Amino acid sequence: MQDLNAKEVEEAQESLIRYCGEFSSFIAEKAFGSYIYNKKGDAILDFTSGQMCSVFGHNHPKFVEILEKSGDKAIHLLSSILSPPVIELAKKLTGKLPDSLSKCIFLNTGSESNEVAIRMAKLVTGGFEIIGFSGSWHGMTAGAQSYTYSKTRKGYGPAMSGSLMIPAPYEYRCPIAHCKGSCDHTCLEVGMKMADQQSVGEYAALIAEPLLSAAGMIELKPDYVKRLKELCEERGLLLIFDEAQTALGRLGTTFAFEQYDVVPDFLTLSKTLGGGLPLAAMVTTAEIEEECHKRGFVYVTSHVSDPFCASFGSAAFDILDKEQLAKNALEKGKYLKQQLLQLHEKYECIGDVRGSGLLLGVEIVKDRETKIPDDDLGQKICSRCLELGLNMNIVRMKGYGSVFRIAPPLTISKKEIDLGIAILDEAIRDCTK
């Protein structure tokens, strides 16, 4: 792939803030299905679904149809005015959830959806302390960022008061150097005790991703979540599940928490809900909503309940059901993971393969004995993949660049998976000669 236009990127950087490290040298002209294209028409297979958002592939025909007809509909309204798309999406969303999760609000980003959940949790409990996991990512706004423990905290001043952290159950790298590849929950028990020691007695909530993506694709197992919920209830902590990346079929069920015998107090959705459009939601119980309403709850933004984006949310559920994409994620995810495990057997630099459905992680290490992350090699493989025609996601920040986050569209074909694996194989071989 020769059209990696470094000159155009350099010229663009004269006007653009570099908000995620260095920009990719590939400039996309259009996108469709599992591919993005440059202006020459060269195709790049997208193993990241954009920013993990285009869960049904780029420019799904149903979404394009909505875009084409949008000129005849309301696009934006005063926040207090409802519209048919918002009402329809509210009914569809809550209709797919347990009866307890019956009240929702529609926003634009994952950061916003988490801000609403945190705001309501603080209001209804009267507390202000929020617990998050090490390596977690819940957003870039002030509140959500305070409970985000990826490598994005240093240099920006104090976080919100009451920001507490417990270790994520990273089986490959036990955070307390205790487990031998299988988490026995000791990190959870110790982590909660440490949080108790830091707490000033004003607990509000614990926020968790069912699969911690930025932390390195760390999956929360059902028995772990069951114990987590028990520990939260003992402390009066409300439980927030952030399903920005895991909802809408990505892990093989409509919502990841369906795989647990636990229902959260708050569910936040974003990324996959809009299928590539800016749409997010927060869902909670009628009891919490009623109490917050009595206490004067307010959360008004310029684009809360915008009808235009809400219409894509309704379409997303239609696509998910009609095309049976949750089932496809299970089947194709199993196949993709098997292929990755074969590469694991072939290359010493692959330390671990993990994840679920079509949200998988591949960790690159210097050697398997020490498990030392190899950021430099990870970046080289990522760059080589792009040159060969495969878009891969690896965190560009130093110290977090050794885990590939593989999240292709749920519509991906077996043939496209084979192509992606062949390119990754060649890239690793080229970079480890």
Tens digit of each residue's pLDDT (9 = 90 or more) over 328-339: 999 999 999 999
The answer to whether position 10 is within a domain reads: no
More confident residue, 10 or 87: 87
The two most distant CA atoms of the chain are separated, in Å, by 66
Catalytic site residue 68? no
pLDDT value at 283 more than 80: yes
Catalytic site residue 137? yes
Mean pLDDT of 167-189: 84
Q: How many CB atoms lie within 10 A of CB 95?
A: 9
**Percentage, residues of the chain above pLDDT 90:** 86
The answer to whether position 252 is within a domain reads: yes
Catalytic site residue 22? no
Q: How many domains does the chain have?
A: 1
Set 46, 129, 171, 209: catalytic member: 209
The answer to whether position 52 is within a domain reads: no
The answer to whether position 18 is within a domain reads: no
For residues 229 and 234, give the distance between their C-alpha atoms in angstroms, rounded to a whole number: 9
More confident residue, 223 or 71: 223
> pLDDT band at 11, cuts 50/70/90?
confident
For residues 357 and 427, give the distance between their C-alpha atoms in angstroms, rounded to a whole number: 24
Instruction: Give the domain CATH number at 287.
Output: 3.40.640.10
| pLDDT given at position 183 | 83
The answer to whether position 58 is within a domain reads: no
Pairing between β-strand 43-46 and β-strand 390-391 as defined by DSSP bridges: parallel
> pLDDT band at 340, cuts 50/70/90?
very high
The answer to whether the CB of 207 falls within 8 A of the CB of 242 is: yes
Hey, what are 15's tokens? 């006007």
Got the DSSP string for 327-361?
Answer: HHHHHHHHHHHHHHHHHHHH-TTEEEEEEETTEEE
Set 219, 242, 243, 363: catalytic member: 242
> pLDDT band at 309, cuts 50/70/90?
very high
Task: Find how far residue 186's CA is from the centre of its chain.
Answer: 26
Give the ranges where 218-359 is alpha helix by DSSP (H). 222-235, 286-294, 307-322, 325-346
| pLDDT given at position 96 | 98
Hey, what are 372's tokens? 């030392």
pLDDT value at 396 more than 70: no
The answer to whether the CB of 425 falls within 8 A of the CB of 389 is: no
pLDDT value at 219 more than 90: yes
pLDDT value at 46 more than 90: yes
What single-letter amino acid sits at 192? M
| pLDDT given at position 184 | 84
Placement of tokens 């905290």 in the chain: 153
Pairing between β-strand 266-269 and β-strand 238-242 as defined by DSSP bridges: parallel
Got the DSSP string for 374-422?
Answer: -HHHHHHHHHHHHHHTEE-EE--STTS-SEEEE---TT--HHHHHHHHH
Domain that residue 99 falls in: 66-322
Catalytic site residue 259? no
* Percentages of the chain per state (helix, strand, coil), in multiples of 5: 40, 20, 40
Angle ∠(43,45,50) on CA atoms, nearest 5: 110
| pLDDT given at position 398 | 59
The answer to whether the CB of 142 falls within 8 A of the CB of 160 is: yes
The answer to whether position 416 is within a domain reads: no
| pLDDT given at position 401 | 66
For residues 6 and 20, give the distance between their C-alpha atoms in angstroms, rounded to a whole number: 17
Mean pLDDT of 121-135: 97
Q: Measured between alpha carbons, how far is residue 85 from residues 105, 248, 342 in Å? A: 13, 18, 46
Hey, what are 289's tokens? 């909503």
Mean pLDDT of 199-216: 96
The answer to whether the CB of 160 falls within 8 A of the CB of 127 is: no
Query: pLDDT of 62-100, one tens digit each?
Result: 999 999 999 899 999 999 999 999 999 999 999 999 999
pLDDT value at 2 more than 60: no
Pairing between β-strand 280-284 and β-strand 103-107 as defined by DSSP bridges: antiparallel
Q: Residue 180, exposed/middle/buried by CB under 10 A (0-12, 13-18, 19+)?
A: exposed
Set 145, 245, 339, 379: catalytic member: 245
The answer to whether position 202 is within a domain reads: yes
Set 229, 271, 337, 354: catalytic member: 271
For residues 152 and 130, give the distance between their C-alpha atoms in angstroms, rounded to a whole number: 18
pLDDT value at 303 more than 90: yes
Give the residues across from 45 on adjacent strands. 35, 390
DSSP 8-state assignment for residue 424? H
The answer to whether position 365 is within a domain reads: no
Placement of tokens 């004003």 in the chain: 202
> pLDDT band at 23, cuts 50/70/90?
confident
> pLDDT band at 397, cuts 50/70/90?
low
